[in-house]
């Protein structure tokens, strides 16, 4: 018996379990190394939590897991989950094909209740009060564990098998906050996905430096001293700094002194700088790949644990679609991490989202999506639930031309059009023609992240146009739990009377699933998907004879029959994006 065998079974018994990890001390009160003394360090013993600790220097952090389930869960005997969940609302990741995705979140509502403290208070026998008659579970939990933010929590949805065992699928979140909803004893625990770490208001790239010049320097000085004393510890042993509008490389550090200065780098001009001038350390990327840049921003500036980044998957995706493309960029002015991530993703034509089931950050380049294996077909008879299918055009997402600004002039100037030397324009003239939309829709990308390369810029622009030149259609539908194997990022073909061909027959239209939400949990799922172009999964072609004209000169018939190979950047001789062998 497995999760998948139970979800397709008629009469399945859904169950939801929530686990919360909180910090917990492994020491015993008053026993070495804990130096707490009852009556001296406190009038009563701690609860082995940091908040109640009486010897914080020796707090030995481990994890204690609390396990909760819905009130009617009827879990197997001995499970021990506390049945106090009244509602679980999972807001899934929403895939935004134009950049960073909307984070997934979960709201879990609990009912408060009296609790005997057994299993939560390690010194219950030493208390002089009746725990059941004093306070409530969540009231005491909150008082003992106020430091919940960013601690892991897991939402396990699944089924109770006939063998009495619970089979679940786990989603991973991080605690955002604990709210006391009302005076009736309702508690709400809010969890968000890993990308929440990129949303902190104080998280910036580069991190805001706190040093200033201890004394003024001339345009040719090769060392400087930072102030206040000790601030040098927060600077690297080598790197790049910005003072006023000059970028300076340094090769050594001794205490608060930066040495081996190379002045006026990055196209800036050497100048003298006054005492107390801000010394901002820069984030420097030199011939780095997009995955390397994203990883650096996420791990070094957003505090994301590197274990959540599947480095080899990202590397493979990069090798497949971005090839040898690398970036050399200096970030000298601190900006919000999320803004920088959006900029990198848009510039590279890629998307980033949190897969809460696999507990991984997924990164994918926007390309004409090719299915992996057989594409699932969803129809109105066997899959789509009654009355659930809705189709709408998302005109605001249509793009008919992409203007990409390239070659940043100065790393110390604002990132706007005036700070770029070059522009490329890629236009889908057919969709803009009077017989089509008769209007243009512009996507403007200020791109300091790719090198000056017309084919490369055009390739990225073409990827946007292939996806968005025709007004994207979005569909919403519901599926039974038996189809829960379909998830965000999957490709499906939908056959419906609401997706008709010109002749009125039901068309098979290909979509990318951008959101899936279990509701009711364990029983049905609400899906959102965006149509992807071109339709179809490819065609058979012939190899042409020698002396065949190239793509630009080939006839339509030849183009249909023969395979034409693009250049290294994936562009055909007429600069159109070419077909690709997967």
Partner 1 sequence: MTVIVVNPSAASSSGCRIGYENLLELGTVVASSENASYPVENAYDWVASDYFRPAAGGSVTITLTLSAGRAANYFAFYGQDVHESSGSLSLEYHNGTSWVQVAGVSPADNSPRMVCFDSVTATQWRVVVTASTTFNLACVAFGTYLELPYGQYLGWTPPKLGRSAEFINSVSDGGTFLGRSYVSQGVSVDLVLQYASDSWVRTYWLPFHQHMERKPFFFCPDYNSYPSDAVFCWAEGSINPPSHTHYGFMGTTVKLRGVME
| Measured distance CA(69)–CA(79) in Å, rounded | 10
Tokens 């065998």 correspond to: 5
CB-side exposure of 452: number of CA atoms within 13 Å?
A: 7
- Contact present, 527 and 513 (Cβ < 8 Å): yes
**Residue 283 vs 494, nearer CB to partner 1:** 494
SS3 track for 293-357: HHHHHHHHHCCCCHHHCCHHHHHHHHHHHCCCCCEEEEECCCEEHHHHHHHHHHHHCEEEEEECC
> CB of 520: closest distance to partner 1 in angstroms?
6
Specify the length of the chain in residues.
Answer: 582
DSSP for 434-487, please give it: TTTT-S--EEEEE--SS-S-HHHHHHHHHHHHHHHSSPPEEEEEEEEGGGTT--
**Strands 376-379 and 491-500, sheet pairing:** parallel
**Residue 317 vs 483, nearer CB to partner 1:** 483
State CA 493 to chain mean position distance.
Answer: 26
Query: Rounded to the nearest 5 degrees, what angle is found at the Cα of 38, between the Cα atoms of 37 and 41?
Result: 60
> CB of 355: closest distance to partner 1 in angstroms?
25
> CB of 52: closest distance to partner 1 in angstroms?
20
State CA 186 to chain mean position distance.
Answer: 31
> CB of 418: closest distance to partner 1 in angstroms?
54
Nearest to 68 by CA among 110, 99, 39: 110
Tokens standing for residue 494? 């939908």
**Residue 187 vs 384, nearer CB to partner 1:** 384
Which H or E run includes 573?
Answer: none
Tokens 């622009």 correspond to: 461
At residue 98, the 3 state secondary structure works out as coil
> CB of 494: closest distance to partner 1 in angstroms?
12
**Residue 70 vs 295, nearer CB to partner 1:** 70
> CB of 495: closest distance to partner 1 in angstroms?
11
Please enumerate in sequence order all residues whose Cβ is within 8 A of that of 480, keeping only pairs 6 or more positions apart, or say none: 383, 385, 523, 524, 525
Please enumerate in sequence order all residues whose Cβ is within 8 A of that of 392, keeping only pairs 6 or more positions apart, or say none: 473, 474, 475
Strand partners, 20: 66, 153
At residue 526, the 3 state secondary structure works out as strand
**Residue 222 vs 388, nearer CB to partner 1:** 388
Tokens standing for residue 442? 């512009």
**Residue 57 vs 386, nearer CB to partner 1:** 386
Cα–Cα separations (whole angstroms), residue 222 to 118, 418, 543: 66, 32, 63
> CB of 498: closest distance to partner 1 in angstroms?
9
| Measured distance CA(232)–CA(255) in Å, rounded | 6
Number of Cβ within a 10 Å radius of residue 52: 16
Strand partners, 278: 212
Please enumerate in sequence order all residues whose Cβ is within 8 A of that of 184, keeping only pairs 6 or more positions apart, or say none: none
Q: Sign (positive/negative) of CA torsion 363, 366, 371, 372?
A: negative
Helical H segments across 71-184, by residue range: 137-144
**Residue 305 vs 379, nearer CB to partner 1:** 379
Q: Sign (positive/negative) of CA torsion 37, 41, 47, 51?
A: negative
**Positions that interact with partner 1 (CB under 8 A):** 8, 10-14, 72, 74, 76-78, 80-83, 116, 118-119, 132, 379-389, 480-482, 496, 520, 522-524
């Amino acid at each position: 018996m497995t999760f998948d065998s139970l979800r397709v079974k008629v009469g399945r018994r859904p169950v939801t379990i929530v686990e919360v990890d909180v910090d917990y001390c492994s020491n015993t009160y008053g026993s070495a190394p804990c130096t707490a003394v009852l009556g001296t360090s406190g009038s009563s013993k701690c609860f082995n939590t940091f908040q109640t600790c009486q010897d914080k220097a020796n707090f030995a952090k481990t994890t204690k897991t609390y396990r909760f389930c819905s009130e009617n869960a009827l879990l197997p005997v001995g499970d021990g989950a506390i049945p106090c969940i009244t509602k679980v609302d999972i807001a899934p990741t929403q895939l935004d094909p134009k950049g960073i995705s909307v984070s997934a979140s979960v709201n879990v509502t609990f009912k408060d209740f009296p609790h005997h403290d057994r299993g939560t208070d390690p010194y219950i026998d030493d208390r002089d009060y009746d725990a059941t008659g004093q306070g409530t579970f969540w009231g005491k939990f909150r008082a003992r564990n106020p430091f919940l933010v960013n601690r892991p929590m897991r939402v396990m949805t699944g089924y109770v098998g006939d063998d009495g065992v619970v089979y679940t699928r786990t989603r991973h979140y991080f605690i955002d906050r604990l709210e006391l909803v009302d005076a009736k004893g309702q508690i709400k625990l809010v969890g968000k996905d890993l990308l929440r770490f990129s949303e902190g208001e104080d998280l910036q790239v580069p991190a805001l430096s706190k040093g200033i010049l201890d004394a003024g320097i001339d345009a040719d000085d090769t060392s400087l001293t930072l102030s206040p004393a000790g601030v040098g510890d927060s600077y690297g042993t080598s790197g790049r700094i910005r003072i006023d509008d000059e970028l300076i490389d340094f090769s050594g550090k001794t205490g608060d002194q930066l040495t081996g200065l190379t002045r006026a780098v990055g196209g800036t001009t050497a100048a003298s700088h006054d005492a107390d001038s801000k010394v901002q350390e820069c984030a420097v990327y030199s011939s780095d790949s997009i995955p390397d840049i994203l990883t650096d921003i996420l791990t070094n500036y957003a505090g994301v644990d590197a274990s959540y980044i599947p480095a080899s998957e990202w590397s493979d995706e990069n090798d497949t679609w971005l090839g040898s493309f690398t970036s050399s960029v200096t970030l000298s002015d601190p900006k919000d991490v999320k803004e920088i991530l959006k900029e990198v993703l848009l510039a590279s034509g890629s998307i980033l989202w949190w897969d809460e089931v696999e507990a991984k950050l997924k990164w994918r380049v926007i390309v004409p999506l090719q299915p992996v294996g057989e594409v699932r077909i969803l129809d109105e008879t066997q899959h789509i639930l009654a009355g659930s299918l809705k189709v709408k055009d998302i005109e605001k997402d249509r793009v008919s031309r992409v203007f990409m600004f390239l070659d940043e002039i100065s790393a110390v100037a604002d990132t706007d059009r005036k700070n770029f030397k070059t522009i490329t324009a890629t236009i889908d003239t057919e969709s803009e023609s009077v017989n089509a939309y008769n209007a243009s829709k512009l996507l403007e990308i200020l791109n300091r992240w790719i090198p000056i390369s017309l084919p490369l810029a055009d390739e990225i622009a073409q990827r946007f146009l292939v996806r968005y030149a025709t007004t994207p259609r979005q569909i919403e539908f519901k599926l039974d739990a038996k189809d829960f194997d379909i998830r965000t990022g999957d490709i499906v073909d939908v056959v419906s009377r609401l997706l008709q061909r010109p002749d009125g027959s039901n068309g098979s239209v290909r979509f990318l699933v951008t959101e899936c939400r279990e509701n009711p949990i364990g029983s049905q799922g609400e899906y959102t998907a965006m149509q992807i172009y071109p339709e179809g999964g490819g065609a058979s072609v012939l190899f042409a004879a020698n002396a065949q004209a190239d793509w630009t000169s080939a006839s339509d018939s030849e183009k249909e029959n023969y395979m034409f190979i693009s250049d290294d950047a994936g562009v055909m001789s007429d600069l159109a994006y070419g077909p690709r062998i997967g």
